[in-house]
Amino acid sequence: MSRAVAIVGNPENRRVAFFQRALGRRGMAPAVVVAYRDLLSGRKPFDEVPRGAFLRIESPGENFEVERGLLSLGAARAEREGSPHLGAKALAGLKEDRGRVLFPRQWYLGYCACLRSLDAAVAARGDLIALSNAADIAVMCDKRQCHRRLERSGISVPPALGTVTCFDELVARMESWCATRVFVKLAHGSSASGVVALERRREKWLATTTVEMEQCDGETRLYNSLSLRRYTGVVEVRPLIDALAPHRVHVETWLPKAALDGRVFDLRVVVITGEPRHMVVRTSRGPITNLHLGNRRGDLDRLLVKLGEEATRQLEDTCRRVAQQFPRSMQMGLDVLFVPGMRRHYVLEVNAFGDLLPRVLHDGQDTYEAQVGAAVEWHGPGRGEER
């Protein structure tokens, strides 16, 4: 690759470091980092990006200064639409509180505004080749929009019960659907933030979740926990759902997962230039499989043997069809569920920043090396203008 590379991200973040290492392993110069904090402060960091550079957009996460900036950017819009929000005074005094779920709808509205500004800056330059599309990222960061897009295209997704605003509305929706098990997900959450696996057995309720609730000065604060928590009964489950729902949630049918070696599993598949490449089997004893929650990687080769050629081909075809829904984005991470018997699969989510898979190789390359090499094949000199 002869072109220069620029990364929009947080300079200290490990994602940026991994991509820089991938460039170095291919004998390329380090990327120019366009910091989110500079974008949010109104500076013009694109002035330092070489002409004709490839532009990678990274996650804005894991930086409190940036998180507060995005909340500030989304405050007015959140207030207009009646979403829970922090105003200017509260934001000015906001302190970092690790693990706290801070007004995800307001954050999302701010990030969308940031992405629009980023898109405008790229368009004004006219010579940069963006490896991800800002509008695509906005859709992938909204589980409701993403689900609708896939469903309209005929891709199998879990049936959605729609958006609810409180526990009582969720109960009514479940009864109308004759559903006893659902997943409630923050529409703008990631890494299992705000995910609740909820089941009802007659009048008994059980919620398995990453959410920890704390009361502070009469306010319910939500925190992400690395240990799954259980809330039982209406007395515990109602305040959990009532605390999450105002921030926008996506509710879908809880489909049973297939098992491998006695543990249920789903797949994270990284799609690059429309092709499924890196895959990780995420296994668990419970309903939530994210690896950072103490779950284990499964044996991919063993799974592919059990699936057989036809089911594997169908999985790969589905991944290609999902990528076609986001044709201006070079990479994405898909979460895919197989039901027991492994004859059918469903796409659970599409992740704009789903390529962080350390030590997972495909054709001897990690996800970042594969993307560096694929950028030339995908766009190549002159092809960026055609897309």
What lies within 8 Å, CB to CB, of 241 at 6+ separation is 164, 166, 167, 170, 184, 196, 198, 207
pLDDT digits (tens, 9 = 90+) for 247-282: 999 999 999 999 999 999 999 999 999 999 999 999
Question: In the chain, which residues fall in CATH 3.30.470.20?
Answer: 140-156+257-378
> What pLDDT, in 10s, does the model give residues 211-228?
999 988 888 899 999 999
Q: How far, in Å, CA of 249 to CA of 228, rounded? A: 19
CA angle, residues 212, 215, 220, in degrees to nearest 5: 75
> Is residue 197 within 8 Å of 210, Cβ to Cβ?
no
Q: What is the pTM of this model?
A: 0.95
What CATH topology corresponds to 140-156+257-378? D-amino Acid Aminotransferase; Chain A, domain 1 (3.30.470)
Q: State both tokens at 35.
A: 């910091």
pLDDT tens-place string over residues 163-197: 899 999 999 999 999 999 999 999 999 999 999 99
pLDDT at 310 > cutoff 80 = yes
DSSP secondary structure string, 159-209?
Answer: PEEE--SSHHHHHHHHHHHT-SEEEEEETT--TTTTEEEEEEETTEEEEEE
Distance (Å, whole) CA 188 – CA 107: 8
CA dist., res. 169 & res. 163, Å (int):
9
Please report the beta strands in the chain, taking only residues with DSSP state E, as ranges in sequence order. 5-9, 32-35, 54-57, 129-130, 160-162, 181-186, 195-201, 204-216, 219-232, 249-253, 259-260, 263-272, 275-284, 296-297, 331-338, 345-351
Cβ proximity of 238 and 205 under 8 Å: no
